[in-house]
Amino acid sequence: MPRDLRAVLFDLDGTLADTAPDLAWALNQVRREQGLAPLPFEHIRPAVSHGSRALIERGFSLAPDDPRFEPLRRRLLDLYRANLARETRLFDGMDEVLAELEARGLHWGVVTNKPAWLTEPLLAALELDHRAAAIVSGDTVDQRKPHPAPLIHACELAGTDAAHCLYVGDARRDIEAGRAAGMHTLVALFGYLDEDDDPATWSADALVATPADILRWIDTAD
């Protein structure tokens, strides 16, 4: 185990929880309302970690300054908020990872760019809100990832410092934020990576193919 590891922090969408089915559903509902056919799930999934703007760009091929963009984005979020946990689940094996971390006396938490009005009810629906030592959303502090401030704040909530934390995420900004904060970092290859992503170049400590690999890395890393 890395010396004195005391906490493991997770990105939410595409790392801790598989939220893509519900976000893809909401996007396709907006497309149906606009008289468009639904998009294949495989086309939508890689955009999920990048938020509602990326989803609207992918779903409608609109630039953010297009006057149609923001109303469509608001409609997407309204539909998603009302259907946060239709199919969303922890990734296979993640519940066992969390239970093992707790058994070892390690804190765990969530640092996401998702706003709190979506993060908090989702974690409550997954019955994780009272287990997490830290929950930091995209609007908890003034900065968002890739800035390190949300991760540093999560460490404070968990009662430790960045040097004793591990951050797991599925996007380049997650690894940039973790490294800038002075944390160990892992790339979740089971998350929402796009075909153009090259996580081997992100300078993380390691790439993990499954949630169980997180524990394996903890057990074998120096």
Query: Is 42 in the same domain as 94?
Result: no
Query: Is 92 in the same domain as 179?
Result: yes
**Across 65-89, average pLDDT:** 97
Query: Is 102 in the same domain as 187?
Result: yes
- List phi, psi (to 5°) of 118: -105, -40
Residues 24, 38: Cα–Cα separation, whole Å: 9
Residue-number span of the structural domain to which 174 is assigned: 7-18+88-220
Query: Is 53 in the same domain as 107?
Result: no
Query: Is 12 in the same domain as 41?
Result: no
Rg for the chain, CA atoms, rounded: 17
Q: What is the pLDDT of residue 4?
A: 87
Q: What is the pLDDT of residue 203?
A: 98
Query: Is 127 in the same domain as 206?
Result: yes
Residues 23, 19: Cα–Cα separation, whole Å: 6
Q: In this model, does residue 120 exceed pLDDT 70?
A: yes
In the set 11, 18, 205, 213, the catalytic residue is: 11
1 assigned to some structural domain: no
Q: What is the pLDDT of residue 3?
A: 60
Q: What is the dihedral of CA 206, 209, 210, 216, to 10 degrees?
A: -40
Q: What is the dihedral of CA 217, 175, 195, 135, to 10 degrees?
A: 90
Per-residue confidence at 1, pLDDT binned at 50, 70, 90?
A: low
Residues linked to residue 166 through DSSP beta bridges, in sequence order: 8, 184
Query: Is 97 in the same domain as 182?
Result: yes
* Number of CB atoms found within 10 A of residue 21's CB: 16
**Across 148-160, average pLDDT:** 97
2 assigned to some structural domain: no
Averaged pLDDT of the chain: 96
**Across 43-51, average pLDDT:** 95
Query: Is 170 in the same domain as 120?
Result: yes
Query: Is 74 in the same domain as 100?
Result: no
* Number of CB atoms found within 10 A of residue 70's CB: 14
The count of structural domains within the chain is: 2
Domain containing residue 185: CATH number: 3.40.50.1000
Query: Is 214 in the same domain as 166?
Result: yes
Q: Is 11 a known active-site residue?
A: yes
Q: In this model, does residue 2 exceed pLDDT 80?
A: no
Fill in the DSSP letter of residue 45.
G
Determine contact, residues 144/163, Cβ cutoff 8 Å.
Answer: no
Helix, strand, coil % (nearest 5) of the chain?
45, 15, 40
24 assigned to some structural domain: yes
Query: Is 29 in the same domain as 136?
Result: no
In the set 4, 13, 161, 222, the catalytic residue is: 13
Q: Is 13 a known active-site residue?
A: yes
Determine contact, residues 192/45, Cβ cutoff 8 Å.
Answer: yes
Q: Using one digit for the tens of pLDDT, what is the confidence trace for 9-38?
A: 999 999 999 999 999 999 999 999 999 999
99 assigned to some structural domain: yes
* Number of CB atoms found within 10 A of residue 212's CB: 15
How many residues are listed for the chain in this entry?
222
Fill in the amino acid letter for 56.
I
Query: Is 12 in the same domain as 118?
Result: yes
Residues 147, 142: Cα–Cα separation, whole Å: 10
Distances (CA, A) of 178 to 12, 148, 150, 183, 205: 14, 6, 10, 5, 11
pTM: 0.96
